[in-house]
Amino acid sequence: NFNKYSSDFLKKINLKYIVLCEDLSVSGINTAGVPNHKMKTLIIDIQFNKNHFERTMHHEVFHIIKDGYKNYFDESIWQNYNNPEFNYAECSTCSSDRLNLSLLEETKGFLTEYSMSTPSEDMAEIFSFLITDKKNIENKALKDPVLKKKISYIKKTLLKIDQEFKF
């Protein structure tokens, strides 16, 4: 899965180490991964969720990207794509009703329940699906103008980081 990224891209996003482990948790909460941009390290729980393992790796890579290029990913622009009545939670673990990682049938701007937790998680979910299930997600975006804008934003922003990047 990590072969999908060129070595030049991994250098640009400052990712040097990938640690695979089991039973990863932060503050007592099980987690799929922990990105640490300063330490150039991504920690991935290989037992977290077998159904979503491949996608969660790319989700966590996105957090490394975003942490390294904070000025590129403007959450206020992102939030303006959503329906004005929608509000993200205070944090990704603050809403126990938004933890499901399965692809939603009716997207309404969001691919998973978890993508409704915070702007950063929403971006990471879209990125991970673009890497692992691009055709399906782009087809969903044909019927969802919010999702279409979000996908375009992610693609354009990644090209600012690496003009050679391909989904």
Tens of pLDDT, residues 39-55: 999 999 998 877 888 89
CA distance 62 to 24: 19
List, for residues 58-113, the tens digit of each pLDDT value: 999 999 999 999 999 999 999 999 999 999 987 765 555 556 788 998 999 999 99
What is the structure's pLDDT at 53? 86
Predicted local distance difference test score (pLDDT) of residue 93 = 59
Q: Tell me the HSE value of 22 on the side-chain side, using a 13 A CA sphere.
A: 2
Per-residue confidence at 149, pLDDT binned at 50, 70, 90? very high
User: Phi-psi category of 114—alpha, beta or left, where left has phi over 0 and alpha has psi -120 to 50?
Assistant: alpha
Distance, CA of 162 to CA of 157 (rounded, Å):
9
16 CB-near residues (< 8 Å, 6+ apart): 10, 40, 41
The pLDDT tens digits of the residues spanning 100-125 come to 788 998 999 999 999 999 999 999 99
Say if CB 134 and CB 147 are below 8 A apart.
no
Give the closest residue to 35 by CA, choosing from 64, 73, 76: 64
The size of the chain, in residues, is: 167
